[in-house]
């Protein structure tokens, strides 16, 4: 269709990809409760758009919904990872190379992540690596993605107020370094070190903590 | 003269596991009164002591991480400091994790009471290579700082002297300031609320309002709706500007301050290596070995307690009964001789009184030798830090029932006795989880049930034992299924595990004993009245010969549905009162039958295991959750047990018929 893609289709693509990305950030390949999704999308109730979008996502085979919640399908997971990586890469580029401030870089990436082609992304990555501008590649991951011995900084905590406040009061404020002391298999709890204290966090709780990881050396 | 000076009222505050209770114990010793905060299920410990001319009254506040609305303990603590306004607040701090403890210190300072900072666990800090410059800390914070090692008592006298000294000075504590912008906001809100005659410290109140503290907003709204209407839109505006809740902004600021302070007073050297401890840490949380070790420890505890309690039991038995029973009989005989007219009523009331006394003594000789060691070992596990490892290992499994790792502990206790098991459900953070945990615990067969089951099945040797094992495993499966159903049907959200992990520590005797005393006392107050009541009721039923009618009334259930002898009707009623009675009375009522047929033995075992906890447990649940829920739970479990029993009866008959 060239450059005359109907506006409606473009907007739908954006909405779809945003939802998928949000679900991915919340729970990767696990279940997300609808209320958690509502909270993170900052919507006040389950209004028409939410329901329509969820239906559309189900029809496109990107998610499936049952009474445990919403979960990404294999196809949805792939799409989410791609969008997420594009966003992260582009945001880093804008911040470090073009020196936009954090908020602006984030806003622009939010818009552009849906339209950058994979080819452009690869070229961009190669360029940045070659030019050494990309000295620090920071990605945002949930705490549960880290392995024993790895560390990062707290970026934010999603979830209900009780959990967010509790974790904050225990020291997991924005920018605080966290390191993983111990993990356990099959979705078991994690033992983490924060400000000199050790905490055990259930897997679900840990998944709500978003961490900024420095991928180049630790 | 001691009586001339007013008492110095001190509140001990600090995180959990910092040695606060140890210091409290050392200072107040035998004068301690341990109870509950009025109307709440939070432990309150008060005591007093005298030093030179001064009398000091001390309250040990619960160990908490923050002064927010997260838990009842936090609310109770802050209310006490804000409203009762103790003369001195002693903030006990864990020297090995100074930064996080300082966060709490900063929160305490906001409440505006004179404060003494106690750097405890200095020996542990040394082992970790951490040394703190207490003079510098004192200078930066503006409050006196004392180093202590509570375990050995080192520094305690200095602490007492400092308390007295600070009290004499009547200096107000320093105000730790936030950034300019935040301070402006605090001043703004302070001015708005200043002249409203509220008892809380103004600055603290202003900060809480900015943080959108739900309790404070509630209290303010009750006090003056117009005030909250004026303030709240303002705070909402602030949050929109900052992009995140003010509470988080303030918390971040406090932690920055705490961090800066900690950095400037701590110096770290290389700690001594402790490879043995490190390895044990690793193994005890290992998914396979950790669980193996845990099961081993639990098993040894149970076997140990059984052996010990049996020994003490028989010892006490002889001691108590040999003396008292003949004495009472002798007394009754004398009265019968001298006042024959009164014989019958005296004999009856005598019998009832004796039944009550006998139950009470029975409680002491049978129940206590079992419960007290239980509580001792529980306190040891708790104080050493092992319970957190158990919660870590079991968190995953517990999630299937919608609970988290800590819930495993009440369940383990339940295998011994449901009463401490249900009481232990208090360690869960939300009401909903306490309810689910309690419900699940009541389904767990306690020692009395085990005695009954084994008594019914052991005549069948290996076959009987296999059936017993099968029933226990079946019970566990049902526990999880019913737990899951409870999880789905009781409204509310599950919370996840968030728990501090401390290095293993040698448990301290005084803390263990104090906890045991508090819990044993609680158990006695809750269970004993029922144990006595039960004994009297049973005797009454016996005297009034009501039992045959009860049997008849229940026969459709017992005989037709469950396929059991008609006498089981009474057994079930008695079992409601105390589980072991099922076995005891079986021998009494069916003397001709020494052994029940296998099918009946199995059916009765199943019913006994599920049908309801004893009255004492129900009393505990009623106290925690209200009578409605207690009755509902009872009804559900009775119906379920009887239903299950009937199914077992029919299936077994069919299966055995085939064989």
Range B535-558 average pLDDT: 77
What digits encode the pLDDT tens for the residues B196-224? 777 888 899 989 988 888 888 888 888 77
Listed in sequence order, the residues at least 6 apart from B632 whose beta carbon sits closer than 8 Å to its beta carbon are: none
Range B18-33 average pLDDT: 84
Lowest mean pLDDT of A38-42, A78-82, B307-311, B569-573, name the range.
A38-42
DSSP structure string for B189-237: HHHHHGGG--SS-HHHHHHHHHTT-HHHHHHHHHH-HHHHHHHHHHHHH
pLDDT at position A1: 41
- Chain centre to alpha carbon of residue A152: 15
A106 sits in which H/E element: helix A102-112
Listed ranges A26-35, B380-389, B616-625; the one with the highest mean pLDDT: B380-389
- Per-residue b/e over B557-593, b at no fewer than 16 CB within 10 Å? bbbebbbbbebbbbbbbbbbbbbbbbbebbeebeeee
Q: What residues are paired with A178 via a beta bridge?
A: A152, A194
Asked whether residue B542 carries a pLDDT value surpassing 80, the answer given is no
pLDDT band at A4 (very low <50, low <70, confident <90, very high): low
Distance CA A93, CA A88 (A): 9
CB < 8 Å to B502, chain A? 198
pLDDT at position B138: 92
pLDDT at position B1: 46
CB < 8 Å to B98, chain A? 196
Burial class (CB in 10 A: 0-12, 13-18, 19+), B97: buried
* HEC readout, B622-650: HHHHCHHHHHHHHHHHHHHHHHHHHHHHH
Q: What residues are paired with A151 via a beta bridge?
A: A179
Asked whether residue B247 carries a pLDDT value surpassing 70, the answer given is yes
What digits encode the pLDDT tens for the residues B416-426? 888 888 888 87
Take residue A84 and report the two structure tokens written for it. 């997420």
What pairing do the DSSP bridges indicate for beta strands B88-94 and B8-14? parallel
In three-state secondary structure terms, B266 is strand
Asked whether residue B348 carries a pLDDT value surpassing 60, the answer given is yes
Cβ-based contacts under 8 A for chains A and B? 116
Q: Does A191 touch chain B (CB under 8 A)?
A: yes
What digits encode the pLDDT tens for the residues B292-302? 888 888 888 87
- Please enumerate, as own/partner, the contacts of B569-577 that have beta carbons within 8 Å and a separation of 24 or more: B571/B604, B572/B607, B572/B611, B574/B538, B575/B452, B575/B608, B575/B611, B575/B614, B576/B611, B576/B612, B576/B614, B576/B615, B577/B534, B577/B537, B577/B538, B577/B614, B577/B615
pLDDT band at A135 (very low <50, low <70, confident <90, very high): very low
Higher model confidence: residue B249 or residue B558?
A: B249
Distance from CA of A18 to the nearest CA of B (A): 20
C-alpha distance across the termini of chain B, in Å: 88
> Cβ separation of A198 and B399 shorter than 8 Å?
no
CB < 8 Å to B498, chain A? 163, 166-167, 170, 199-202, 205
pLDDT at position A2: 44
Higher model confidence: residue B25 or residue B624?
A: B25
Take residue B596 and report the two structure tokens written for it. 């029940």
A interface test, pick of B496, B502, B503, B505 with most A CB neighbours within 10 Å:
B496
Distance CA A206, CA A191 (A): 10
Nearest CA in chain B to A184: B287
Asked whether residue B305 carries a pLDDT value surpassing 50, the answer given is yes
Distance CA B607, CA B620 (A): 22
Distance CA B375, CA B389 (A): 19
> Cβ separation of B498 and A173 shorter than 8 Å?
no
Lowest mean pLDDT of B269-273, B468-472, B652-656, name the range.
B269-273
pLDDT at position B346: 63
Range A9-17 average pLDDT: 77
Distance CA A197, CA B102 (A): 12
CB < 8 Å to A195, chain B? 97, 99-100, 255, 259
Higher model confidence: residue A136 or residue A34?
A: A34
Higher model confidence: residue B102 or residue B512?
A: B102
Asked whether residue B430 carries a pLDDT value surpassing 60, the answer given is yes
Lowest mean pLDDT of A38-47, A66-75, B11-20, B648-657, name the range.
A38-47
In three-state secondary structure terms, B593 is coil
Listed in sequence order, the residues at least 6 apart from B225 whose beta carbon sits closer than 8 Å to its beta carbon are: none
- CB-CB: which of B65, B392, B393 is closest to A169? B65
Q: Does A168 touch chain B (CB under 8 A)?
A: yes
pLDDT at position B277: 78
pLDDT band at B92 (very low <50, low <70, confident <90, very high): very high
pLDDT at position B325: 65
pLDDT at position A172: 94
Which residues of B fall below an 8 Å CB-CB distance to A? 65-66, 68, 70, 96-100, 103, 245, 247-248, 251-252, 255, 259, 285, 287, 388, 391-393, 395-396, 399, 404-405, 493, 495-502
- CB-CB: which of A176, A185, A189 is closest to B405? A189
pLDDT at position A215: 56
Asked whether residue A44 carries a pLDDT value surpassing 60, the answer given is no
Average pLDDT, chain A: 80
Asked whether residue A151 carries a pLDDT value surpassing 70, the answer given is yes
Distance CA B202, CA B535 (A): 57
Range B232-236 average pLDDT: 77
> Cβ separation of A196 and B404 shorter than 8 Å?
no
Lowest mean pLDDT of A72-86, B182-196, B549-563, name the range.
B549-563
Q: Does A174 touch chain B (CB under 8 A)?
A: yes
Listed ranges B16-25, B139-148, B347-356, B628-637; the one with the highest mean pLDDT: B139-148
Higher model confidence: residue B241 or residue B608?
A: B608
Asked whether residue B91 carries a pLDDT value surpassing 90, the answer given is yes
pLDDT at position A218: 38
ipTM summary value: 0.82
Burial class (CB in 10 A: 0-12, 13-18, 19+), B330: exposed
Asked whether residue A43 carries a pLDDT value surpassing 50, the answer given is yes
pLDDT band at A99 (very low <50, low <70, confident <90, very high): confident
What digits encode the pLDDT tens for the residues B443-452? 998 888 887 8
pLDDT at position B148: 93
> Cβ separation of B255 and A195 shorter than 8 Å?
yes
Average pLDDT, chain B: 83
Asked whether residue B80 carries a pLDDT value surpassing 90, the answer given is yes
Asked whether residue A80 carries a pLDDT value surpassing 70, the answer given is yes
Higher model confidence: residue B138 or residue B308?
A: B138
pLDDT at position B626: 80
CB < 8 Å to B496, chain A? 163, 201-205
Q: Do residues A163 and A172 lie in contact, with contact meaning Cβ atoms separated by under 8 Å? A: no
pLDDT band at A190 (very low <50, low <70, confident <90, very high): very high
- CB-CB: which of A165, A188, A189 is closest to B247? A165
What digits encode the pLDDT tens for the residues B275-294? 777 788 888 888 888 888 88
Listed ranges A155-159, A198-202, B485-489; the one with the highest mean pLDDT: A198-202
CB < 8 Å to B405, chain A? 189, 200, 202
What pairing do the DSSP bridges indicate for beta strands A190-194 and B145-147? unpaired
- pLDDT above 90 covers a percentage of chain B that reads 18
- pLDDT above 70 covers a percentage of chain B that reads 92
**Phi first, then psi: what are they for B121, rounded to 5°?**
60, 35
CB < 8 Å to A191, chain B? 285, 392, 501
Asked whether residue B192 carries a pLDDT value surpassing 90, the answer given is no
pLDDT band at B589 (very low <50, low <70, confident <90, very high): low
- CB-CB: which of B96, B97, B395 is closest to A189? B395
């Amino acid at each position: 269709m060239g450059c005359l893609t109907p506006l409606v289709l473009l907007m739908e693509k954006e909405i779809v990809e945003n939802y998928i990305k949000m679900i991915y950030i919340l729970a990767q390949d696990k279940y997300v409760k609808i209320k958690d999704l509502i909270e993170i999308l900052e919507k006040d109730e389950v209004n028409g758009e939410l329901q329509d979008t969820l239906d559309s996502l189900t029809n496109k085979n990107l998610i499936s919904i049952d009474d445990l919640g919403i979960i990404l399908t294999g196809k949805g997971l792939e799409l989410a990872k791609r969008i997420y990586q594009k966003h992260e890469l582009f945001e880093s580029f804008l911040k470090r190379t073009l020196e936009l401030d954090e908020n602006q870089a984030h806003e622009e990436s939010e818009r552009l992540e849906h339209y950058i082609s994979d080819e452009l992304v690869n070229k961009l990555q190669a360029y940045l690596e070659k030019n050494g501008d990309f000295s620090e590649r920071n990605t945002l991951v949930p705490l549960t993605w880290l392995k024993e011995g790895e560390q990062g900084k707290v970026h934010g905590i999603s979830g209900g107020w009780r959990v967010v406040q509790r974790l904050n009061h225990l020291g997991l404020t924005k920018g605080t370094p966290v390191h993983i002391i111990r993990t356990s298999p099959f979705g078991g709890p994690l033992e983490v070190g924060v400000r000199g204290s050790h905490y055990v966090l259930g897997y679900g709780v840990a998944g709500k903590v978003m961490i900024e990881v420095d991928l180049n050396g630790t | 003269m001691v009586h001339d000076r007013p008492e110095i009222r001190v509140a001990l505050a600090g995180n959990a596991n910092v040695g606060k209770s140890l210091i409290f114990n050392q200072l107040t010793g035998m004068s301690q009164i341990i109870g509950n905060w009025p109307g709440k299920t939070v432990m309150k410990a008060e005591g007093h002591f005298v030093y030179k001319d001064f009398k000091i009254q001390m309250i040990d506040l619960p160990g908490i991480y923050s002064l927010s609305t997260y838990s009842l303990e936090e609310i109770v603590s802050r209310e006490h400091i804000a409203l009762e306004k103790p003369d001195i607040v002693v903030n006990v701090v864990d020297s090995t994790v100074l930064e996080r403890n300082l966060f709490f210190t900063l929160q305490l300072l906001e409440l505006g009471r004179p404060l003494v900072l106690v750097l405890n666990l200095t020996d542990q800090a040394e082992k970790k290579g951490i040394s703190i410059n207490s003079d510098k800390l004192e200078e930066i914070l503006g409050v006196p700082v004392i180093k202590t090692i509570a375990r050995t008592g080192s520094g305690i006298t200095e602490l007492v002297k400092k308390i007295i000294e600070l009290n004499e000075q009547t200096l107000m504590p320093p105000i730790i300031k936030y950034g300019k912008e935040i301070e402006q906001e605090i001043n703004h809100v302070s001015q708005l609320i200043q002249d409203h005659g509220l008892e809380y410290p103004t600055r603290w109140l202003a900060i809480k309002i900015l943080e959108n503290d739900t309790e404070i907003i509630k209290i303010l709204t009750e006090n003056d709706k117009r005030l909250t209407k004026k303030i709240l839109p303002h705070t909402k505006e602030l949050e929109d500007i900052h992009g995140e809740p003010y509470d988080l902004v303030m918390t971040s600021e406090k932690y920055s301050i705490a961090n800066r302070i900690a950095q400037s007073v701590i110096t770290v050297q290389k700690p001594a290596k402790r490879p043995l401890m490190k390895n044990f840490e690793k193994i005890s949380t290992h998914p396979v070995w950790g669980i193996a070790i845990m099961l081993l420890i639990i098993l040894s505890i149970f076997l140990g307690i059984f052996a010990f309690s049996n020994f003490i039991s028989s010892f006490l038995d002889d001691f108590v009964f040999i003396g008292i029973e003949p004495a009472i009989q002798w007394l009754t005989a004398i009265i019968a001789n001298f006042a024959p007219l009164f014989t019958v009523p005296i004999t009856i009331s005598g019998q009832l009184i004796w039944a009550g006394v006998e139950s009470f003594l029975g409680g002491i000789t049978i129940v206590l030798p079992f419960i007290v060691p239980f509580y001792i070992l529980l306190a040891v596990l708790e104080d050493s830090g092992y319970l957190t490892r158990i919660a870590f290992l079991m968190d995953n499994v517990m999630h299937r029932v919608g609970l988290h790792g800590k819930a495993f502990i009440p369940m383990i206790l339940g295998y011994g006795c449901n009463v401490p098991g249900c009481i232990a459900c208090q360690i869960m953070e939300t009401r909903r989880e306490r309810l689910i945990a309690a419900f699940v615990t009541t389904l767990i067969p306690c020692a009395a049930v085990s005695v009954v089951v084994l008594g019914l099945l052991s005549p069948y040797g290996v076959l009987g034992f296999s059936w017993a094992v099968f029933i226990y495993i079946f019970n566990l499966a049902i526990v999880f299924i019913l737990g899951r159903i409870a999880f789905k049907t009781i409204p509310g959200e599950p919370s996840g595990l968030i728990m501090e992990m401390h290095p293993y520590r040698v448990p301290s005797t005084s803390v263990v004993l104090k906890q045991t005393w508090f819990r044993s006392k609680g158990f006695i107050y809750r269970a004993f009245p029922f144990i006595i009541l039960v004994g009297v009721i049973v005797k009454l039923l016996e005297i009034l010969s009501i039992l045959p009618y009860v049997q008849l009334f229940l026969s459709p259930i017992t005989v037709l549905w469950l396929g059991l002898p008609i006498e089981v009707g009474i057994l079930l009623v008695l079992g409601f009162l105390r589980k072991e009675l099922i076995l005891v009375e079986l021998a009494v009522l069916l003397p001709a039958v020494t052994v029940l047929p296998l099918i009946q033995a199995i059916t009765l075992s199943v019913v006994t295991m599920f049908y309801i906890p004893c009255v004492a447990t129900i009393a505990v649940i009623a106290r925690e959750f209200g009578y409605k829920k207690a009755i509902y739970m009872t009804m559900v479990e009775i119906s379920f047990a009887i239903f299950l029993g009937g199914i077992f009866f029919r299936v077994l008959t069919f299966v055995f018929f085939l064989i």
